[in-house]
Structures are given as C-alpha cells and as structure tokens.
C-alpha cells in the first residue's frame, strides 16, 4: 500500500503492485503537504496548505479530528511511534504537538 497527497486537496491509498486506488479522502480545502499512517494502520494524519491537520479513522470511514487553522500552511505531519501523539510543522516556523488521547 502506498499513500499520496496532492494539489487536488485529496489523499489516496493505492494497492501495489497493480496501482488500484483503494480509498480516497476529501475535505481539505488546499494542497496536501503530508500524509502519515498510524502504527496500527487504522488511522491517518494529513497536513495541508489550508492551515489544518486532520486525523482520519478508516473504521469510521472519515475524519475524526481537525486542528484549528494556524494562519500559515502546515508543511508536514507525523505520528509518534506509539501512536498517541501527532506532530506538525508550519510555514510560520513553529511546530505543534497534540496528545490525541
């Protein structure tokens, strides 16, 4: 499985080796800058030029949590290895860390 984010405001999950699209996520209002799977594979975090970070849950078939807009594009996002914390980095030279519990 490969995960991609794009200028079309969507993330897509692709099955390899054939390249079939498994799931598409819509909701961001600007380009996606980062996508990262939770260690369990059941959740995803995305960051965007729309100044937000979203957490998606595959079992709920949608997003479950959105950060407040930060005023500047968010460049990237990542889960802590234990899956309890998300970090993001913004164009305004700041980082944000969330305890998702």
Q: What angle do CA 65, 74, 59 make, to 5 degrees?
A: 30
Q: Which residues pair with 78 in a beta bridge?
A: 87
Confidence of residue 49 (pLDDT cuts 50, 70, 90): very high
Question: Can you give the residue range of the structural domain that contains 49?
Answer: 2-99
Tens digits of residue pLDDT in 5-43:
999 999 999 999 999 999 999 999 999 999 999 999 899
Torsions phi, psi for 21 (to 5 deg): -80, 125
Name the nearest CA neighbour of 50 among 22, 31, 34, 67. 31
User: Would you say residue 100 has pLDDT above 90?
Assistant: no
Domains identified in the chain, total number: 1
pTM (whole model) above 0.85:
yes
CA distance 21 to 18: 9
Q: Is 4 left (phi over 0), alpha (psi -120 to 50) or beta?
A: beta
Tens digits of residue pLDDT in 61-93:
888 888 877 789 999 999 998 888 999 999 999
């Amino acid at each position: 499985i490969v995960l991609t984010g794009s200028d079309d405001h969507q993330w897509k999950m692709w099955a390899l080796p054939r390249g079939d699209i498994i799931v598409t996520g819509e909701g961001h209002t600007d380009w996606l800058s980062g996508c990262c799977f939770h260690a369990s594979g059941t959740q995803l975090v995305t960051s965007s030029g729309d100044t937000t970070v979203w957490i998606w849950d595959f079992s709920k078939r949608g997003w479950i949590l959105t950060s407040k807009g930060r005023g500047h594009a968010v460049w990237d996002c990542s889960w802590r290895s234990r899956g309890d914390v998300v970090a993001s980095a913004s164009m305004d030279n700041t980082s944000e860390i969330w305890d998702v519990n």
